[in-house]
Amino acid sequence: MPDELDRWASTRAPDLLALAEAAAVEELKRALLKAALERHTAQTQVPPVAQRPARGGAGRPDRRAAAAPAPEPDPAPAGDGIWAYCITRAREAPAIDGVHGSQVERVEEGGLAVLVSRVPLSEFGEDALRRNLNDLDWLERVARDHEAVLERALDDGTIVPLRICTIFADEGGAARMLAEQRSSLDTALDVLDGRQEWGVKLTVDRAALEAAARTRAPDVSDEELEGRSAGGAYMLRRRQERQLREAADRLAGGIAEDVHARLQDWAADAVVNPPQNPELSGHEGDMLLNAAYLVEAAKVERLHELVAELRERHRELGARIELTGPWPPYNFVPRPESALA
């Protein structure tokens, strides 16, 4: 178990936390929370205080009433919501606990199924969820539980992963989503069938790059400095330092282009994501490439061989290539629908 947690923290956690913060905070605060819990909110909302006649008689306002009393806060929502993980072809749900320790179940509609589990609205309702989204420890725990279900489901077959914090008021809402989006979900499942998502991260040691660049652009010689004033010599050295940085940048760009081009041409599809924050991921050096590749399952062995060849080719320039996977195919799911990853 510790080995699995270490693997999760070092490889998948940064991606999922970034996804959780970007997708959940932005999407949920604007639309998903309001839509997903719309029915429950309507049922529990406190009605406005009825306007009463003033003491002075019907139709005459009471001038002493300067302001209406503050409305009472809404009570904490009771009951459960439905947390959704992914879409599959209709089949048995995996025997695994999901978010908040609830057993994963399935909701079926028209030959498709969405894997779900129940979550208490006291923690996952609109107001509580807003607070919890600002708690990184809570986000990490929820993201890990969500990911565990996706990985288990992925072992059983093709899935379309849903964004973290995709919540429905009840099973009927989940079933309606399947019916309304059946065409795009069928297409996504067909595209992903027999394929896997693999992640590639390329980092370089800046010092090694600059050392390699220096061999191709030697230091300023004594002959070049001879006869120059102190200011002239200083400007010459500064110019060389700038040229050295530019040469190192060109080397870095060439490595990234070579690695991505080789993998992209060979894979079924590819997506380049922004570099990870080193404080979040813990990586050392400069991250030049953070990409995902959709690979035919039958070609995974060749993928490992290709990455090994690229590692060897660029090792002298301080390049490190990390291959991880297979992962739930977040990067290759069509995105027109708000719930999709």
pLDDT > 70? residue 192: yes
- This prediction's pTM: 0.69
pLDDT > 80? residue 177: yes
pLDDT of residue 198: 96
pLDDT of residue 189: 95
State how far the Cα of 113 lies from the Cα of 88, in Å rounded to an integer. Answer: 5
pLDDT digits (tens, 9 = 90+) for 288-329: 899 999 999 999 999 999 999 999 998 888 889 999 999 999
- Tell me what the mean pLDDT of segment 172-192 comes to: 94
Structure tokens at 39: 């029915």
pLDDT > 70? residue 77: no
pLDDT of residue 95: 87
The owner of tokens 């908040």 is: 100
pLDDT > 80? residue 82: yes
Amino acid at 283: H
| Pair 196, 300: CB distance under 8 Å | yes
pLDDT of residue 170: 93
Q: Which residue has the higher pLDDT, 31 or 203?
A: 203
Q: Cis omega (within 30 of 0) on the bond before 94?
A: no
Q: Strand pairing partners for 287?
A: 203
